[in-house]
Amino acid sequence: MAAVPGTHVHTADNAVPPLGDDLDGLLADIRGFLPGLDLIADGVRLLALERLTVQQTQTVVTMLAGSTDPAGQQIDVLALVAALVARLLNADENPALRTLPATVQDQARTAGAEFADHDAYVTPRADIAKTVYDLNPI
């Protein structure tokens, strides 16, 4: 049931509703590859189903994608994932890539660095930060 703008959807005892098919499907799709990915999925599931206050919602969304720090200095999960991707694609930091031809290593390193740079300068964190502030302005 869709909410009418300006109204709230309430469930029995005001419980947090179950995950929707999209999020639940994504969580299921990344499970089973590596324990680290399973832990990430567990964390996302926990946050999605946890009963949060408005302030906790602001904190979680800010830490996920709403850093207001200058580009390249963001402190949020998006920046964390971008830094991890850059690390995993850098043969200097990921020994698994060291047996690949130098051209492939360079291509991977460049792709990782460009991904991290793209995230730092293009991801619309300001929109998320403004929305988070609007949830409960000071």
Contact at 8 Å (CB) between 128 and 65?
yes
Whole-angstrom distance, CA of residue 53 vs CA of residue 31? 29
Query: Which residue carries 């949060």 as its tokens?
Result: 52
Whole-angstrom distance, CA of residue 129 vs CA of residue 120? 15
Per-residue tens of pLDDT for the chain, all 138 residues: 455 555 566 666 778 889 999 999 999 999 999 999 999 999 999 999 999 999 999 999 999 999 999 999 999 999 999 999 999 999 999 999 999 999 999 999 999 999 999 999 998 899 999 999 999 876
Tokens, residue 22: 């999209």
State the pLDDT at residue 13. Answer: 72
Contact at 8 Å (CB) between 52 and 59?
no
Query: Which residue carries 């999020």 as its tokens?
Result: 23
Tell me the Cα Rg of the chain.
19
State the pLDDT at residue 106. Answer: 97
The pTM score is 0.84
State the pLDDT at residue 1. Answer: 44
Burial of 120 from C-beta contacts in 10 A (0-12 / 13-18 / 19+): buried
Sequence-distant (≥ 6) Cβ neighbours of residue 48 within 8 angstroms: 19, 23
